[in-house]
């Protein structure tokens, strides 16, 4: 299927978006063949699961993947760093970067097939299936408004984990209505892999912009609660460590006055993440170029 080129005005029309969607559907059906895997049963994180499955407040923030050499931008195919992990069974060590563009492409494949009732994609072979805690985030439009984000702190093999949470974050985030077909061409997908978990000495033993944190505390009724923010949240919101802790306490359901003495009772686990984001346009461009 040939699409008109070098015509920005045409590319911004509804007809162009429809052609792009048709191109994806045809490509996906051709790629499925008789070897597609069964649609995965989604294990949906619940709202009562101590709110640990949501990565940020519902305010819209632009979350770019800064400083990573394998970020895909401007709809172009970019070179992949030499230390990136490929291979079905390769287990990466702590010094190697794991997240890669194919993970986001796969999430877009899963979502596109789900929206168009096409058989789920084959098991991917272009990135590791090693287990990691992970989050999948969907944002929309140039403002990158949050559209859905769900993940897990339980290490999951990436092939099944990304398949599951690409769907959960798109359709099961209780803060938003399910993503629909009309929104597909406006979406941005981010994959975050969580690594380097450490128990903090106290509630201030972590660095804004570097660490994500997961807190544990006991509420007014003596019930243990947890809440988390991914590493980019505090810096995007321009919070210091105290403001971040207080926001997490509220997110976790603590309603009483927050004193410094109470903050000292909070247990903090700090961690880091590898994150990469791509847009739907980049996904389409790389699919057309046979990049995956």
Averaged confidence pLDDT in the chain: 77
Is residue 138 packed enough to be buried (19+ CB in 10 Å), middle (13-18) or exposed (0-12)? buried
Provide the pLDDT confidence category of residue 122 given band limits of 50, 70 and 90: confident
Q: What residue ranges of the chain are covered by domains with CATH 3.30.700.20? A: 38-61+85-196+275-288
CA–CA distance, 114 with 28 (Å, rounded to integer): 11
What is the SS3 assignment for 263? helix
Cβ count near 199 (within 10 Å) = 9
The dihedrals phi and psi of 63, each to the nearest 5 degrees, come to -120, 85
pLDDT digits (tens, 9 = 90+) for 72-113: 333 333 333 333 444 334 455 667 899 999 999 999 999 999
- CATH 3.30.1490.150 residue spans of the chain: 198-272
Q: Is the pLDDT of residue 49 over 50?
A: no
| DSSP H helical ranges for the chain | 8-11, 14-32, 101-115, 158-171, 231-237, 241-251, 260-263, 280-288
Please tell me the CATH code under which domain 198-272 is placed.
Answer: 3.30.1490.150
CATH code for residues 38-61+85-196+275-288: 3.30.700.20
Residue 54 — very low, low, confident or very high, per pLDDT cuts 50/70/90?
very low
């Amino acid at each position: 299927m040939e699409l008109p080129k070098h015509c920005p005005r045409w590319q911004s029309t509804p007809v162009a978006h429809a052609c792009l969607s048709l191109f994806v559907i045809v490509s996906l059906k051709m790629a499925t063949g008789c070897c597609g895997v069964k649609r995965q049963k989604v294990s949906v994180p619940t709202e009562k699961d101590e709110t640990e499955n949501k990565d940020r407040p519902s305010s819209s923030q632009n979350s770019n993947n800064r400083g990573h050499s394998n970020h895909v931008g401007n709809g172009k195919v970019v070179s992949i760093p030499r230390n990136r992990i490929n291979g079905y069974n390769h287990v990466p060590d702590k010094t190697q970067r794991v997240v890669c563009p194919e993970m986001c492409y796969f999430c877009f494949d899963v979502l596109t097939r789900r929206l168009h009732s096409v058989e789920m994609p084959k098991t991917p072979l272009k990135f590791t299936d090693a287990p990691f805690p992970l989050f999948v985030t969907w944002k929309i439009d140039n403002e990158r408004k949050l559209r859905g984000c769900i993940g897990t702190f339980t290490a999951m093999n990436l092939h099944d984990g990304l398949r599951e949470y690409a769907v959960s974050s798109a359709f099961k985030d209780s803060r938003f209505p399910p993503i629909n077909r009309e929104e597909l061409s406006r979406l941005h997908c981010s994959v975050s892999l969580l690594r380097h978990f450490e128990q903090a000495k106290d509630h201030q033993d972590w660095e804004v912009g570097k660490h994500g944190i997961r807190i544990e505390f006991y509420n007014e009724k003596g019930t243990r609660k947890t809440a988390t923010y991914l590493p980019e949240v505090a810096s995007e919101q321009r919070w210091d460590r105290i403001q971040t802790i207080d926001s997490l306490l509220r997110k976790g359901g603590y309603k009483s006055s927050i004193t410094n003495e109470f903050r000292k009772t909070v247990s903090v686990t700090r961690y880091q993440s590898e994150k990469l984001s791509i847009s739907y346009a980049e996904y389409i461009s790389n699919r057309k170029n046979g990049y995956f």
